[in-house]
């Protein structure tokens, strides 16, 4: 579970950074959104491996976030 927790924390940090940069209208927001999508996808895959309800919910949320981030940079 340690990798799952690590990725959860990374995902949280990068999502916060992406939201902050988007709210500022930063020219770098797209770059951060690309990174955010990759981290969210990794987090979703790792969380999906675990049977805990909160892990399954996290997996779905991270997958949805990755989809939205990819839309932002399309």
For the chain, give the DSSP string: -HHHHHHHHHHHHHHHHHHHHHHTT-TTHHHHHHHHHHHHHHHHHHHHTS--HHHHHHHHHHHHHHHHHHHHH-
Phi, psi of 38 (to 5 degrees): -65, -45
The pLDDT score that the predictor gives to residue 62 is: 96
pLDDT at 29 over 90: yes
Q: What is the pLDDT of residues 34-70, one digit of tens each?
A: 999 999 999 999 999 999 999 999 999 999 999 999 9
Q: What is the mean pLDDT of residues 3-19?
A: 95
In whole angstroms, give the CA distance from residue 73 to residue 39. Answer: 15
pLDDT at 74 over 90: no
């Amino acid at each position: 579970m340690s990798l799952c927790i690590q990725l959860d924390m990374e995902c949280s940090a990068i999502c916060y950074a992406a939201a902050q940069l988007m709210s500022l209208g930063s020219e770098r927001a797209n770059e951060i959104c690309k990174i955010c999508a990759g981290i969210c996808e990794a987090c979703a895959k790792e969380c999906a491996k675990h049977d805990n309800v909160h892990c399954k919910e996290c997996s779905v949320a991270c997958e949805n976030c990755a989809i939205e981030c990819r839309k932002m940079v399309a």
